[in-house]
A and B are shown apart, each in its own frame.
Chain A
Amino acid sequence: MSNKSIDALIDDLTDELEPRKPLPHPVVRTFPWAVISFTYLAVIIQVSGLRPDLVHEFHDVNFIFELGLSIFIAVSAFLASAYWCVPDARGKKWLVSLPLMGSAIFIFWNAIRFIIEENARMPDLHWNHCYKDGLAMAILPIASIVIMCRQGKTTCSATMMSMNIIAITSVAYIGLRFTCMLDTVGHSGIAHILPFSIVATIMGFATHRLYKW
């Protein structure tokens, strides 16, 4: 390409320039997402109905630990998404390790529970209820996270999409802990997480299309 065409390109880009509002700091962008997602989650939980033994569960250390871990994974995954939708991730690429570490602890924790409890039963009665509730809980967080990430320009769409999926799965998982009375690992794995694995696979195929720029 000649210098003339580079000059012409620079001329064109300069002519097209309009004032751009810089993208707010990722932490600032995380806050509205968290408010929107958790408010929406609260509404869906109210509509679906709280589990009757919720007050009792809040005295269970295991329940509190799992809930806290899920909130940590959701928020850190969203924060990582917010950083990764900027080309250089603002120098904080290591942030992906937080939700990944949280997820690893979650899997390890459930593996231990599975061995100790020896209970992987999943009554059919609760399948549709959890499936529908989980998807309903995820719709708005999915939309908001994709819209937020599309405001930026990622240079690693696969990593960012992985973070999106972990965040959304965690949000829905938190919601289902408030509505579903079945605490067994088998039920959680199949009814609370598996549907999101399917959604994640579909979103994975759409990654390039969603975040192309």
Chain B
Amino acid sequence: MDQSPSDNDNHERSSDDLWGELAVNAQKGDKKAYRSLLNEIYPFIKASLIGGLANTDWAEDITQEALISVHKSLNTYSGDRPFKPWLMAIVNFRRTDFLRKHYNKKDHEKTTLDNPDFLKNYVTNPGASGEYKDIEKALASVTPEQSEIFKKLKVEGYTAKEVAKAMNMSESAVKVSAHRTMKKLQDMLT
């Protein structure tokens, strides 16, 4: 059954009142009330953050920071005031702080090959395969020998010496061939 607006209001009011009471008891040193408060607000903070962040993993980090901040600033909560505005002021502050630090460090431009999201989006994503098809098409326009040298040297990772031995060519001829192929591909793909 759908909740009516008044049910939601009552729920909002009751959770706010409850958290306010728990916070006042926590200020008096009641550890049980404090644990209940932290356990109650944890999912609320995370849920309030998760929709507005580019990376859902950040919500967990910011929630943790917010809980620590609640701990540090517990004395600033006043029992005669609603709890949620006080809590949300802290959460918004920590979110802004986190994002500022993150973007200042340019962390959003960094990744590693251990990052499953990066692998999924850019390495194993079939949607990105078109980019490689362009390269394959360009490689088809060079001679089979040039194509094979290029693939062995630049894709498969063999050294010029190994390729030269396999192709029965001189090392310098392999390097020249690879260089010319690279130049041709650049001209075709740009």
- A10 in the interface, Cβ–Cβ < 8 Å? yes
A9, A14, A156 — which one has the most chain B CB atoms within 10 A of its CB? A14
Q: Is the pair B90, A10 in contact by a Cβ cutoff of 8 Å? A: no
Q: In the complex, which residues 1-51 of chain A have their Cβ closer than 8 Å to any Cβ of chain B?
A: 1, 5-6, 9-10, 13-23, 25
Hey, what's the 0/1 contact readout for B22-44 against A, CB within 8 Å counting as 1? 00001111010011001100100
- A87 closest partner in B (C-beta): B89
Inter-chain contacts of B90 with A (CB < 8 A) = 87, 155
Cα of A23 to Cα of B81 in the assembled complex, Å: 13
Q: Which of under 10, 10 to 19, 20 to 34, or 35 or more describes the interface residues of B?
A: 20 to 34
- B68 in the interface, Cβ–Cβ < 8 Å? yes
Selected contact of B31 from candidates A17, A88, A155, CB within 8 Å: A17
Inter-chain contacts of B77 with A (CB < 8 A) = 22
Q: Is the pair A10, B35 in contact by a Cβ cutoff of 8 Å? A: yes
- B149 in the interface, Cβ–Cβ < 8 Å? no
Check A22/B67 contact, CB under 8 A, given A1-B61, A87-B86. no
Q: Is the pair A155, B34 in contact by a Cβ cutoff of 8 Å? A: no
Q: Is the pair A22, B73 in contact by a Cβ cutoff of 8 Å? A: no
Check A10/B29 contact, CB under 8 A, given A23-B76, A87-B76. no
Q: Could you tell me the distance in whole angstroms from the C-beta of B89 to the nearest C-beta in chain A?
A: 4
Q: Is the pair A1, B73 in contact by a Cβ cutoff of 8 Å? A: no
Hey, what's the 0/1 contact readout for B79-94 against A, CB within 8 Å counting as 1? 1010001101110110
Cα of A151 to Cα of B67 in the assembled complex, Å: 19
Give the size of the chain A interface in residues (CB under 8 angstroms): 29
Q: Is the pair B69, A213 in contact by a Cβ cutoff of 8 Å? A: yes
Q: Is the pair B78, A23 in contact by a Cβ cutoff of 8 Å? A: yes
Inter-chain contacts of B88 with A (CB < 8 A) = 88
Cα of A175 to Cα of B27 in the assembled complex, Å: 40
- A91 in the interface, Cβ–Cβ < 8 Å? yes
Q: Which residues of B contact A (CB under 8 A)?
A: 26-29, 31, 34-35, 38-39, 42, 60-61, 63-64, 67-69, 71-79, 81, 85-86, 88-90, 92-93
Inter-chain contacts of A14 with B (CB < 8 A) = 31, 34-35, 38
Which DSSP category, helix, strand, loop or mixed, fits chain B's interface? helix
Q: Is the pair B64, A6 in contact by a Cβ cutoff of 8 Å? A: yes
Inter-chain contacts of B72 with A (CB < 8 A) = 153, 213
Q: Across chains A and B, which 6 residue pairs bring their CB atoms closest together, nearest first?
A: A19-B29, A155-B93, A153-B73, A87-B89, A88-B89, A20-B75
- A195 in the interface, Cβ–Cβ < 8 Å? no
Inter-chain contacts of A86 with B (CB < 8 A) = 76, 78, 86
Cα of A23 to Cα of B23 in the assembled complex, Å: 13
Inter-chain contacts of B92 with A (CB < 8 A) = 155
Q: Is the pair B69, A153 in contact by a Cβ cutoff of 8 Å? A: yes
- A129 in the interface, Cβ–Cβ < 8 Å? no
Inter-chain contacts of B42 with A (CB < 8 A) = 6, 10
- B39 closest partner in A (C-beta): A10
Selected contact of B81 from candidates A15, A85, A90, CB within 8 Å: A90
Inter-chain contacts of A90 with B (CB < 8 A) = 78, 81
Q: Is the pair B79, A17 in contact by a Cβ cutoff of 8 Å? A: no
A5, A9, A20, A156 — which one has the most chain B CB atoms within 10 A of its CB? A20
Selected contact of B38 from candidates A13, A22, A89, CB within 8 Å: A13
- B90 closest partner in A (C-beta): A87
Selected contact of B75 from candidates A1, A5, A23, A88, CB within 8 Å: A23
- A186 in the interface, Cβ–Cβ < 8 Å? no
Besides A9-B64, A22-B75, A152-B73, 4 other A-B contacts (C-beta < 8 A): A6-B63, A23-B76, A88-B85, A155-B92
Q: Is the pair B26, A17 in contact by a Cβ cutoff of 8 Å? A: yes
Check A155/B29 contact, CB under 8 A, given A10-B38, A14-B35. no
